[in-house]
Amino acid sequence: MIQTNFLVIGSGVAGLTFASKIAQALPDKTVTIVTKADEEESNTKYAQGGVAVVLDMKEDSFQKHIQDTLVAGDGLCNPEVVEMVVKKGPKRLKELMAWGASFDMDASGKLELGKEGGHSEHRVVHHKDLTGYEVERALLENLRRLPNVTMLPYHFAIDLITEHHLEVPKSKQVSCFGAYVLNQRAGEIITIKADSTLLATGGIGHVYGHTTNPVIATGDGIAMAYRAKAEIRDMEFVQFHPTALYTTKEGPSFLISEAVRGFGAILRDKNGHRFMPDYDERAELASRDIVSQSIDNELKKSGNTSVFLDCTHLDIDQFKRHFPTIYKECLANHIAIETDWIPVVPAAHYLCGGIVVDKDGRTSVNNLFACGECSRTGLHGANRLASNSLLEALVYAHNIYKYHVAHPTDSVNIAIPKWNDEGTRIPKEHILILHNLKKLQALMRDYVGIVRSNDRLAKAVLHLDLIYKEVEELYKNSKVTTTLCELRNMINVAHLTIGQSLKRKENKGGYYNIDNNTAS
């Protein structure tokens, strides 16, 4: 049993920012960070674009950034939340820089501001095409200096501890008392008792197979919160990144950043036709949902496996300076962008919904907070504006920290039973887990993808039910493993996504159902 004041599940920008702030402000309190891979592995690390923040008050304004966010969110953003996040952005960025995160500067020594799809002005601060990696590095360096922070890599959170696990009368208001966590190296399950728990577990991309997310993005936090009876909303709004590098390899798709289209790259079909102007007057700089739906339509019409991003007309030296990682990755795949087009397909990229939180990051479960991509704050509405995600994580991590300083939590004085796995065996049927994972990913890709229909969604419910029954039986009779728990979590996420898709009767932002007549 580990007892801690603050349990943070996840080691991306959301979790690390909160942990840094709370540990520095309350040096007599303990912070425990649980992360299922090594401490550097998270969605943050792969965020190429940057942090959207208003810094140039001559050309730009808070009002313009607010307006761009509301337009992208297609009428479903919470305007108060949008205003709060946009206005707090510059201060949070300065803190990040004070912690040692460096961003690209122009010749005059000012921050170089990029422009991405959906933004009316240049306002994206970046570190080449590895912004997330740089932010993660600075946060981890800062955390390692703090003596009251314990990092537990290769520890997988299985379930949140609520009254459901305790010998106590059920109450109307569910509370969280920590989590059961699998030490993956030792193979044992430990109980972590916490006064306050923060879910900062990132996204769900791996549920789709074709994804820009790392393989750890299996929706664990959302599934745990759902099982703990927290409110989950807007799961139908899965944002697909229009331009992931198309290869035949397994694993995460490499992202060709939106900023490449901002830099002037053009989308073409196999015959060289530039098709985006046929769909939207903004052409390649239309919002992600429009570009993804347009590519999806082109692929369905032609039967081709990809479309192409043409950079051959661009200044290649400038391209290499701005996008060195993308240039190298293309070369590694035998694509010389000076002469070759880059094959691209849409891939699951970002979840706009998740665990419902208020402005202080509080969920509907007592002492349980959520931050980052696993949370649903009301900022993104039906479609996230590019580079608003790192911004959201920074602002909400700060809000959650401020809330805890102002409202100290009581220590948990409840006896928590050990994890009980009597009568279970180590699953020898690893092939069953893998088989069901592949079935689930194919189901989500084919039936619950960019363009949906009521018929396909109804069929998806039936298919998912069969997978669910087989996996639940395996779970009840087996000792838990990370892969089995991840699959169970992904099934929960798929169930929420399909169910909430069926309930949405109008097309909005990233959600498009051919049976809904309302135009988005």
pLDDT given at position 45: 59
Q: Please give the positions annotated as active site.
A: 288
Find how far residue 94's CA is from the centre of its chain: 23
pLDDT given at position 519: 46
CA neighbours closer than 13 Å in the CB half-sphere of residue 397? 32
pLDDT given at position 520: 42
With 0-12 CB in 10 A as exposed, 13-18 as middle and 19+ as buried, what is 360? middle
Q: Residue 38 carries which side chain, given as an amino acid letter?
A: D
Which regions of 68-187 does DSSP assign to beta strands (E)? Answer: 113-114, 124-125, 149-153, 155-160, 178-183
Interhelix angle 131-144/13-25, nearest 10 degrees:
30
Rounded distance between C-alpha atoms, residue 368 and residue 363, angstroms: 6
pTM for the complete prediction? Answer: 0.91
Contact 208, 446 (CB under 8 A): no
Q: To the nearest 10°, the Cα dihedral for 347, 348, 350, 356?
A: 170
Q: Look-up: residue for tokens 């004085």?
A: 413
Rounded distance between C-alpha atoms, residue 180 and residue 160, angstroms: 6
Give the mean pLDDT per block of 10 residues along the chain (520 residues): 96 94 97 86 63 92 97 96 97 94 91 87 88 88 94 96 81 91 94 97 91 89 97 96 88 86 96 97 88 90 93 96 93 96 94 98 98 97 92 97 94 86 71 92 92 95 97 89 94 98 94 76
Distances (CA, A) of 509 to 377, 385, 386, 455: 16, 10, 13, 21
pLDDT given at position 37: 82
Q: Residue 382 carries which side chain, given as an amino acid letter?
A: A
Contact 115, 124 (CB under 8 A): yes
